[in-house]
Structure 1
Amino acid sequence: MPFIILDDVRIYYENLGSGRPLVFIHHLAGSFKSWIFQNKYFSSKYSVIVYDLRGHGRSSVLNYPYLIEDHSKDLKGLLEYLRIDNPIIIGHSIGTLIALDYATKFNVEKLVLIGALYKAPDPDPYYNYVRIATSFGMEALAEYRRLHGEFSEALISNYTAWNLLLQVYKENNPLGYKYAVEGLLKSKDYSNDLSKIDEDTLLIYGSEDKLSKNAEIFKQNISKLKLNIISGYGHFLNFEAPEELNNVISNFL
């Protein structure tokens, strides 16, 4: 299994296929497995890099909050190790903040932002998420969020999609989740930095994703932005609507 040691963290990654480099950055409580449908689709034409963020999956769990800048530094180290200096970066949820931080500091060819954030989310629900995860485990957290209507009907009614998300949640360490959340909630507001991004950027939301309200900020500040709303789906398009998502990304590339 391929790992890279970066200062104080061990990062798990996989590199599939060959061609122009696509780097996928997963959601909170995700892993490289969050991109299972994208791996298979894109690795036939591109060099696909997927990895576990610090505190997630098979990567190190460190006992302090993981700032977005820490994740961005990890990404830079991984890409330097792989000798990639102009990647196409595809981020989802927390992965979009990491992508934004990276893109405002280093060269990228293109950006794809799925279910995007531009600043830290409302902290109140996350305090409760951390309490549940650290007290009862990650599966309990997923079930809590399902029972409280925080996932789309398209996700929870799709047996395959729901169980893939549940599997990824269960493979995460509650302490890693805790520190990832604490770092996420300290994220800076990137709205004033978005104008620095002059590369072609694709912004994708499911129509049922509550974060789609952020689209206006991106439209106002990124000059080469294309917005695509995938109707009938929520936040986890990678599981809920993989064919639609793959097609939208492929057409952009």
Structure 2
Amino acid sequence: MAHIDASGVRLYVEETGSGYPIVFVHEFGSDFREWEAQVRYFSRGYRCVTYNARGYPPSDVPDDPAQYGWEFAVSDLLAVMDALKIERAHVVGLSMGGYAALQFGLKHGTRASAIVAAGAGSGSAPSQREAFLKEAPALAQSFRDKGMAAMALEMGHHLTRIQLKYKDPRGWQDFVNHLGDHSAKGMSTTMARYQALRPSLHDFKEQFSRMTVPVLLAVGDEDTHCLETNLMLKATIPGAGLWIAPNTGHAINLEEPADFNREVDGFLSQVERGSWRKGWRNG
């Protein structure tokens, strides 16, 4: 347990296990604690690294809004790896973290041996882009107006998250409790400066078409905000595979931890054996 420096912002980091490194990057509504089922499983054979993004205590919560944004998410991931002297790692990200992992693969492809992007793409689909850009600023203000306790319950009952409550009430309560611990200022500014201002993943199709890092895309079939974009990514990234989990919403690693771990483990094993092949392309 330690803090590392990321351009003057302290990020809280935890390490578990030994072996080849896996770095986990959390989503907007979670923090490093929501990777617990993955850390317990993968730390048996890997060096697992989890950390909290800027704006998520015990990482620093900068006062300056200019210290937030998707570019910082990419550079912070690099800062964590550099501080821990990790030259290359598997990177596993969920939602906001999946966005950062994919962008990391585009910008620092030689540092990622494999990428898992789960539940990535909210607000990216052309059919939903306009509505997302209108809703995000209002949601950002809600964290300041309503406070974290109210927003945690509201988010926990969202149509793409209620599935967790049905499947695992105790796990859902842990999720809501952890979310309630977050900083309203950090969440609000992250939504306003990172989520609302990040480009659509569809804007990077040309770059993704040249991406050489092996990628596993994972999405729940009830995560309606992400399905369209994941189909685009599967069709565009040469080394991408797509796993769609049935009857599953946004927090796929919490809803179906055993299935998630199995799919990720199988993917990483194939990458390490050199047997993860690029998908077939017509023509």
Q: TM-score category by the smaller chain? A: over 0.9
Do the aligned partners of 2:160 and 2:222 also contact (CA within 8 Å) in 1? no
The question of 1:151 aligning with 2:160 is answered yes
Give the aligned partner of residue 206 of structure 2: 192
1:31 to 1:8, Cα distance in 2 relative to 1, 3 A: same
Higher deviation after alignment, 116-125 or 164-173: 116-125
> Where does the alignment leave 5 or more consecutive residues of structure 1 unmatched?
none
Letter in 1 for 2:53: L
Aligned partners of 1:214 and 1:185: how far apart in 2? 17
Across the aligned residues of Structure 1 and Structure 2, the Cα RMSD in angstroms comes to: 1.7
Structure 1 residue 123: Cα displacement: 2.4
1:112-123 mapped onto 2 (5 Å cutoff): 112-117=116-121, 122-123=132-133
Give the aligned partner of residue 234 of structure 1: 249
Do the aligned partners of 2:165 and 2:172 also contact (CA within 8 Å) in 1? yes
Q: 1:223 aligns with which of 228, 238, 255?
A: 238
1:213 to 1:199, Cα distance in 2 relative to 1, 3 A: same
Do the aligned partners of 1:29 and 1:168 also contact (CA within 8 Å) in 2? no
SS class of match (1:192): helix
Aligned partners of 1:32 and 1:101: how far apart in 2? 20
Aligned partners of 1:146 and 1:100: how far apart in 2? 26
SS class of match (1:123): helix
The question of 1:179 aligning with 2:181 is answered no
Structure 1 residue 144: Cα displacement: 2.2
Structure 1 residue 118: Cα displacement: 7.9
Give the aligned partner of residue 281 of structure 2: none
1:59-98 mapped onto 2 (5 Å cutoff): 59-63=59-63, 64-65=65-66, 66-98=68-100
Structure 1 residue 177: Cα displacement: 0.6
Aligned partners of 1:188 and 1:125: how far apart in 2? 15
Do the aligned partners of 2:137 and 2:196 also contact (CA within 8 Å) in 1? no
1:155-174 mapped onto 2 (5 Å cutoff): 155-157=164-166, 158-174=168-184
Give the aligned partner of residue 101 of structure 1: 103
Higher deviation after alignment, 104-113 or 114-123: 114-123
Give the aligned partner of residue 214 of structure 1: 229
Do the aligned partners of 1:132 and 1:140 also contact (CA within 8 Å) in 2? no
Q: TM-score, normalised by structure 1?
A: 0.93
Structure 1 residue 6: Cα displacement: 2.2
Do the aligned partners of 1:32 and 1:50 also contact (CA within 8 Å) in 2? yes
Per-residue displacement from partner, 1:206-252 (whole Å, max 9, x unpaired)?
11111112122102210011111111111101211111111111111
Structure 1 residue 153: Cα displacement: 4.0
The question of 1:246 aligning with 2:255 is answered no
Structure 1 runs (4+) greater than 4 angstroms displaced? 118-121
1:30 to 1:146, Cα distance in 2 relative to 1, 3 A: closer
Aligned partners of 2:87 and 2:161: how far apart in 1? 37
Letter in 2 for 1:244: D
Point out the structure with max Rg over C-alpha: 2
Do the aligned partners of 1:195 and 1:222 also contact (CA within 8 Å) in 2? yes
Query: What is the aligned-residue identity percentage?
Result: 26
1:246 to 1:59, Cα distance in 2 relative to 1, 3 A: same
